[in-house]
Amino acid sequence: MNEYRTHNCSELNIKNVGEEVRLSGWVAKIRDLGKMKFIDLRDETGITQIVISENENLNKEIEDVTTECTLTVSGKVVERANKNLKIPTGEIEIEAKTIKVLGKCKNVLPFEINSDKNEAREDLRLEYRFLDLRNEKLHNNILKRSQVLRTIREEMQKLDFTEIQTPILANSSPEGARDFLVPSRLHPGEFYALPQAPQQFKQLLMVSGFNKYYQIAPCFRDEDPRADRSPGEFYQLDFEMSFATQEDVFKVLEQVIPNVFKAHTSWKIDETPFIRIPYKEAMEKYGSDKPDLRNPLIINNVTKCFENSEFNGFKNKDVKAIVLPDGASNSRKFFDKMSEFAKEELGAQGLAWIKLDEQKQVSGSIAKFITDEIKEKLINETNAKPNSAIFFIADNGEKAQKIAGGIRLELGKELDLLEKDTYKFCWIVDFPMYELSDEGTIDFCHNPFSMPQGGMEALEQKNPLDIYAYQYDLVCNGYEIASGAVRNHDPEIMVKAFEIAGYKREDVENRFGALFNAFMYGAPPHAGAAPGIDRIIMLIEQEDNIRNVIAFPKNKKARDLLMRAPSKVTEQQLKDVHIKLL
């Protein structure tokens, strides 16, 4: 028999009355009623009430016990006089015979552990993460993470994928973020890089003859944190298939992802196949390549409506419009608030607006510039109805799109327009192969190892900015949850693709030598994707901060406050890896 417990704290019920049992757990609450004391004993599974009658030895044993101490309690299961039917054990309690304190807790906790409000500041909670993880909601998030991972593995195995682990110490690769570098002790002046993704390794596995590969892969990127992105490291379901097309990848994810969500949530889930939206259309209609389709608002391009306008604020600019049905009833305060948001949060120069009344008469911040001709064009272009409001964003190109996208999202939140209790999925397809960098040079827009649509012919004959790639993202409720591509498996197409981005042939052969060389030996066409584990669990658990689904996350400044990392190291450690600090 286990010396600490015969049952968990959620197992006992009215059928166990009369049994002698032993429980162990943490003290969640103590109630002292004088002649009797009650302790709520908590473990991972639930809570059982312990009752201590007048017993000098037991009272002495627990006189220094505080909440969050750990105890072992032995006693008899009895029926409770005052039942609590809200919990599974609410009809019984344990009449304590022996109590042993296993681990004492300081009298003053840094914060209240089981508070639903989590009022303690986040940095304090991260510093005492081992206490924070005792909070029921947070604790259950981590348990749910394990269950989701189990479901993912089951789904991938049903589809005959083989789980293979790839190296953590790898070489530097242009994946769109800074690498974490690891100095080599045995090779002075040389460095490993922690993989931003197992990109090259999984492609090499396809060349090696494996048909379907997957792993729950740790990835490392030195990029700034945000609410939906953990700094430094994250996990993804990484998979790849030989002799596969974009359609094959879609079929896999449209089976795996819905089944994972259905297994762990009661919310409505889109039927498959998921809708597909070209990248350019997504940017035009939603101002984002990860649109939240729960939001019914659409961005309209109304630049042509103002071609002959006398309004200087719209001249030589792209003008976007967002129609708010029945928005004319909103107060001036609301419109002013949205204008302030546009300026302060989105960097807009302003946010113009008009209202259309029942007779389609115009009022608002730029009403005097809306001629009858412009009004008719706007109504035809946007399908605006009486009692609508229209917001206008005027700026240049992509900036106008992004500001309009931010306004669309804020309106959805401010006016509670988002469809409730549902997961809306879509594919974003036809990403540009290249984009202009801030310096005006051609750079990869997405994954550099993707196959360009049109192959070598497109690379040789098209303007690089007009070339699409076989790249795709899966989006859910405004979050990118998977990204993938059909891979470039032809070494000459690979060289040409990198040349356009400013790399020489020898750069490709040196930096990606293993992959380039492998492609010389009969590489199969292959494709894959990588859903983000952390974001999927964040969505399933309806959390708005990714740190709440990670056991030991870093804070907003990429610091681990519990383990105090990063930290300084000794001179000897630096000497071992041939590094000298300046």
Report pLDDT for 54: 79
For strands 268-269 and 422-423, give the pairing: parallel
pLDDT digit string, tens, across residues 168-214: 999 887 656 789 999 999 999 999 999 999 999 999 999 999 999 99
Q: Which regions of the chain carry the CATH code 3.30.930.10?
A: 138-270+463-549
| Four-way CATH pick for 138-270+463-549: 3.30.930.10, 3.30.70.1560, 1.10.220.70, 3.20.110.10 | 3.30.930.10
H or E element that contains 389: strand 389-395
Q: Is residue 207 within 8 Å of 216, Cβ to Cβ?
A: no
Place of tokens 């348990």: 143
pLDDT digit string, tens, across residues 291-321: 999 999 999 999 999 998 888 889 999 999 9
Task: Look up the CATH number of domain 14-103.
Answer: 2.40.50.140
Report pLDDT for 224: 82
Report pLDDT for 497: 95
For residue 42, list its beta bridge partners: 26, 47
CA 265 from chain centre, in angstroms, equals 16
For strands 191-194 and 180-183, give the pairing: antiparallel
At residue 490, the 3 state secondary structure works out as coil
Q: Is residue 363 within 8 Å of 375, Cβ to Cβ?
A: no
CB atoms within 10 A of CB 75: 21
> What distances in angstroms separate CA 325 from CA 298, 329, 367, 384, 558, one per listed residue?
11, 10, 18, 7, 42
CA-nearest of 334, 458, 430, 320 to 382 is 320
Q: Which regions of the chain carry the CATH code 3.30.1360.30?
A: 295-418
> Using CA of residue 268, residue 269, residue 271, residue 275, what is the dihedral sign?
positive
Q: Which residues contact 5 (CB under 8 A, 6 or more apart)?
A: 22, 23, 24, 72
Rounded CA-CA distance 357/364 in Å is: 11
Place of tokens 């120069």: 349
The architecture (CATH level 2) of 295-418 comes to 2-Layer Sandwich (3.30)
pLDDT digit string, tens, across residues 545-555: 999 999 999 99
Rounded CA-CA distance 136/146 in Å is: 16
Is the N-terminal amide bond of 218 cis, ω within 30° of 0?
Answer: no
At residue 174, the 3 state secondary structure works out as coil
Report pLDDT for 89: 97
Q: Which regions of the chain carry the CATH code 2.40.50.140?
A: 14-103
pLDDT digit string, tens, across residues 53-90: 877 788 888 888 999 999 999 999 999 999 999 999 99
| Amino acid in the structure at residue 317 | K
Quote the tokens at residue 494: 């690979």
CB atoms within 10 A of CB 332: 9
Rounded CA-CA distance 195/478 in Å is: 26
Rounded CA-CA distance 322/406 in Å is: 11
Which pTM does this prediction carry?
A: 0.92
